[in-house]
Amino acid sequence: MPINVLFAAHEKRWAQYEAPLRTALDDIGVDYSLATDMPPAEVDYIVYAPNSPVQDFTPYTRLKAVLNLWAGVEDAVGNPTLKVPYARMVDDEGLTQGMVEWVTGHTLRHHLGMDAHIMNPDHKWVPDAPPVSADRPVGILGLGELGSACGQAIARLGFPVSGWARSQKQIGGITCHTGTDGLRAVLSQSQILILLLPSTPATENTLNAETLAMLPKGAFIINPGRGPLIDDDALLVALDSGHIAHATLDVFRVEPLPQDHPFWAHPRVTVTPHIASETRAPSASRAIAENIRRGEAGEPFLHLVDRDAGY
Ligand SMILES: NC(=O)c1ccc[n+]([C@@H]2O[C@H](COP(=O)([O-])OP(=O)(O)OC[C@H]3O[C@@H](n4cnc5c(N)ncnc54)[C@H](OP(=O)(O)O)[C@@H]3O)[C@@H](O)[C@H]2O)c1
């Protein structure tokens, strides 16, 4: 009997994913049926976007796993009807590589002070050379798939990198911290701070008035993690006072960022429209197919979400 794989995401994703998913499923050698609609009681796996119309998993009585199309799971992890294993997306070639490029690019932009030269309408000649990377400590909050890869790439460029996670880590090139004291240690030395934490009740407002004050004066913030990691009002105060030199923000509490939000017009804020990194269909399809192969072979699924931790 074929395994039935339901693709539950917006229509435009189906156009991107159908062919790569079929290729990846063909490659693992299973007999399958893949569609955007099938009787719920016959579905074995759901390839899932949390904003899809599937919100009640109760009718999916023979479901074996739900496989997320992207890394963030905050919109589905608390769904009480989702009781089967739930895997988030880890896609090294696509998502992780894209994030490494985006984070490295914005880190170098702020490190080198590129804006002053690219936007210089008065043709000012200010020959202040930037420091070398060894003199620019960088901090990363969140040392998971993305944070550790970004931290290692930045460390390879010569920046001293410290990072913070829930559990203690050993990662080459990164001085790793945990706990409240660890957060203070990272913040107090980070001239550039990158946020790659998930959105959970525990991470909301990680950057607030108190923790922003721990950063060195003139620090830069880069947030490709999630909007709720930052208290927006506290950040605006810190930007207005000059304590924070600039914030490059890719994610927001409300997306698209409302037109009247002060971030749009703020001279020290760069808004990017949640494009830091995207799951790429060919490599993501291979990751999904590998989890289906594992499910069928009775092997443990990869990258399962910890429902208690919320990520
Ligand atoms: N803007 C974009 O385009 C984009 C694209 C993809 C992902 N993202 C965001 O990036 C986030 C990270 O993705 P990922 O794949 O790297 O996730 P991940 O592998 O789950 O890593 C999350 C990291 O955050 C740490 N963490 C979680 N809760 C914490 C807490 N309360 N205190 C301290 N550290 C905590 C974890 O610590 P442990 O290691 O100890 O568990 C882990 O190191 C996603 O959740 C998503 O929000 C954004």
pTM exceeds 0.85: yes
H/E stretch holding 8 = strand 3-8
Q: Say how many Å lie between the CA of residue 198 and the centre of ligand 1.
A: 4
User: Looking at residue 106, what is its pLDDT?
Assistant: 98
Nearest CA to ligand 1 atom 22: 144
User: Looking at residue 219, what is its pLDDT?
Assistant: 98
Quick one: tokens of 268? 């020290």
Which atom of ligand 1 is found nearest the CA of 165?
A: 34
36 CB-near residues (< 8 Å, 6+ apart)? 6, 7, 8, 11, 14
Cis before residue 267, ω within 30 degrees of 0?
A: no
- Pairing mode of beta strands 3-8, 45-48: parallel
Q: Which of 99, 103, 174, 196 to mutate to test the pocket of ligand 1 (most atoms within 8 A of CB)?
A: 196
Which atom of ligand 1 is found nearest the CA of 73?
A: 45
User: Looking at residue 113, what is its pLDDT?
Assistant: 96
Hunting for tokens 């939000």 — which residue is that? Answer: 261
H/E stretch holding 195 = strand 192-195
User: What parts of the chain have a pLDDT lower than 50?
Assistant: none
C-alpha to C-alpha distance for 297 and 34, rounded to whole angstroms: 19
Which atom of ligand 1 is found nearest the CA of 197?
A: 24
Q: Say how many Å lie between the CA of residue 199 and the centre of ligand 1.
A: 8
User: Looking at residue 265, what is its pLDDT?
Assistant: 97
The letter for the amino acid at 248 is T
User: Looking at residue 242, what is its pLDDT?
Assistant: 97
Q: Say how many Å lie between the CA of residue 165 and the centre of ligand 1.
A: 9
Nearest CA to ligand 1 atom 1: 224
User: Looking at residue 252, what is its pLDDT?
Assistant: 98
Quick one: tokens of 185? 């240690």
- The residues carrying an active-site annotation are 226, 274
Contact predicate 98/280, CB 8 Å: yes
Paired residues of 35 in beta bridges: 6
Q: How many C-alpha atoms does 34 have within 13 Å on its Cβ side?
A: 21
H/E stretch holding 104 = helix 97-112
C-alpha to C-alpha distance for 81 and 87, rounded to whole angstroms: 15
Contact predicate 198/310, CB 8 Å: yes
Neighbours of 81 (CB within 10 A): 11
Report residues whose beta carbon is within 6 angstroms of any ligand 1 atom.
Answer: 71-72, 95, 142-147, 164-167, 196-200, 202-203, 224-226, 250-251, 274, 276-277, 311
C-alpha to C-alpha distance for 128 and 122, rounded to whole angstroms: 17
The letter for the amino acid at 126 is V
Neighbours of 10 (CB within 10 A): 11
Which atom of ligand 1 is found nearest the CA of 277?
A: 3
User: Looking at residue 105, what is its pLDDT?
Assistant: 98
Q: Say how many Å lie between the CA of residue 4 and the centre of ligand 1.
A: 31
Quick one: tokens of 101? 């490029």
